[in-house]
Amino acid sequence: MPAHQHRLRGVEPVTVRAAPDAAPAAVAARPYPQTLFGETGSAGWQNLTGGPEGWSGSVDVSALAPGRQRLQVRVSAPDGTWWEQVALFTVPGTAADPVPRWEYRLPGAVQGGIALLDPERGLTVAAGTGGEVVALRADGRPRWRARTGPVYRRPAVDTARELVFVPSADHHLRALDAGTGRPVWDFDAGAPVLSAPVAAGDAVVFSAGGSLFALGAADGRVVWSVPGRGFSSGQAAWDGQRVYTTADDGYARAYDARTGAPVWTYQMATGTRHRVALYGGWDTVVALGAGPVVVATVSGTTALDAATGAVKWTRAGSTMYAPAVVVGDGTLLLTTEWGVLSRVDLATGTVVWQAGLGARVFNAGVVVDRGTVWALSVDGKLLGVRLADGVPQGRLQHSLVYTFSRPVIAGDTLVVGDQNGVVRGIRLP
């Protein structure tokens, strides 16, 4: 197990004591390969030295983010068999790094993301695949709990009506009272609701199966629907006039927000049905800027004219999963699944700066707070870069399991969930 005494900066001392009847041929240790996602790797092992008190040495941990980390130890026998164990240790942080503040556990995984319920009071709402929805106070204590079906996408909040719209894999979209969590209405969409709803004025818009729905926000009655459009697990956008969405049929579309009548279509992908589905923007969270509508696939990002659907610019890169974030000064943050973060001019697509995060990023994406962009990586890291120029800022290993949940910032606290069902409040520097 790791020995924490006499730790040098960036080095973790390790001592392994074997059973009296054991005779290891070799003992090695390494930081657990947390960064690997969908890959395998065998590098980084550091051999320990045998002695009368066991096997000892040190492991280079200088590349690890502050926070709780894992050490992987391998004991090899003379016949080539081996045994492994993982031990926990902590990498200390600095004043520039985020600090864990509180935790709350939900059943299942928190995959759909966190929604901001009341910014002034720091209230957030989280939902999990175990079917529990919870409103959390600024200190992480629950204000109310509710039961729904499994939730895989972020709920939406209608602040005007004080409602929370919760999508569920049990085919239902539910409206809950934002103050109490009590059910207000329940709509059966006839297919799993695996998209994130968006509050759109007097309506709530979402996808279920191959259909797009607009329901009355107050009563859940169908205002309009578009069947046979293609599957989408992303999130539509609304600007008061039109609803913009993408799906696995290969098209981005705009609809009249009042009637659902089609306004324009843009073909995002062509080819075989399999290729169209893969490259069709099925997981896009549509972003709205001052003029352009931004959509993405696993091959690139496209900015379209909101009124006509005409292409304004395109950029290569797999940016479909991490939502694009519009910054108030006319720029846009794009994040590839391989962890390349770019700040681009919203009008032209010109790159202002680009930063490599060194970790993969999927649906969690990035948020901006007081001049710092905070990126949530798949492997449970929170990574800061300066908004002005992309220079690295603080970082934290906030979880040791995968993170796909979109975060929010409530005051000085970033709130995010992970695949173990843990919602965390993290104080930002």
> How high is the pLDDT of residue 124?
98
Give the domain-ending residue among 38, 68, 91: 91
Mapped onto helix, strand or coil, the DSSP state of residue 277 is helix
Distance in angstroms (rounded) separating the CA atoms of residues 262 and 265: 8
Q: Which residue has the tokens 């004219």?
A: 305
Say yes or no: 224 and 86 in one domain.
no
Whether the pLDDT of residue 283 is over 60: the answer is yes
- Tokens read off for 129: 């695949």
pLDDT tens readout for residues 295-344? 999 999 999 999 999 999 999 999 999 999 999 899 999 999 999 999 99
The mean pLDDT of 127-152, rounded to a whole number, is 97
> Could you tell me if residue 2 is inside a domain?
no
Whether the pLDDT of residue 409 is over 70: the answer is yes
Phi, psi for 123 (deg, rounded to 5):
-85, 135
pLDDT tens readout for residues 158-203? 999 999 999 999 999 999 999 999 999 999 999 999 999 999 999 9
Say yes or no: 158 and 64 in one domain.
no
- With bands split at pLDDT 50, 70 and 90, how would you rate the model's confidence at 52? confident
Say yes or no: 175 and 245 in one domain.
yes
> Could you tell me if residue 398 is inside a domain?
yes
**Quick check: pTM over 0.85?**
yes
- Where in the sequence is the domain holding 16, given as residue range(s)? 11-91
User: What's the structural domain count of the chain?
Assistant: 2
| DSSP codes of every residue in 97-139 | S-EEEEEEE-SS---S-EEEEETTTTEEEEE-TTSEEEEE-TT
Say yes or no: 126 and 41 in one domain.
no
pLDDT tens readout for residues 61-101? 999 999 999 999 999 999 889 989 999 999 999 999 999 99
Distances 428 to 13, 168, 367 between C-alpha atoms, Å: 30, 31, 12
Around 152, how many Cα atoms within 13 Å sit in the side-chain half-sphere? 15
Say yes or no: 19 and 164 in one domain.
no
- β-strand partners of 217: none
> How high is the pLDDT of residue 9?
65
Spatial contact of 204 and 188, defined as CB atoms under 8 Å apart: no
> How high is the pLDDT of residue 18?
81
Say yes or no: 162 and 50 in one domain.
no
Distances 411 to 121, 139, 233, 318, 360 between C-alpha atoms, Å: 8, 11, 29, 31, 27
The mean pLDDT of 127-153, rounded to a whole number, is 97
Give the domain-ending residue among 59, 91, 123: 91
The mean pLDDT of 132-158, rounded to a whole number, is 97
Whether the pLDDT of residue 6 is over 60: the answer is no
Say yes or no: 247 and 186 in one domain.
yes
pLDDT tens readout for residues 95-139? 999 999 999 999 999 998 899 999 889 999 999 999 999 999 999
Mean of all residue pLDDT scores within the chain? 94
> How high is the pLDDT of residue 5?
39
Say yes or no: 82 and 105 in one domain.
no
Whether the pLDDT of residue 8 is over 60: the answer is no
- With bands split at pLDDT 50, 70 and 90, how would you rate the model's confidence at 2? very low
> How high is the pLDDT of residue 80?
87
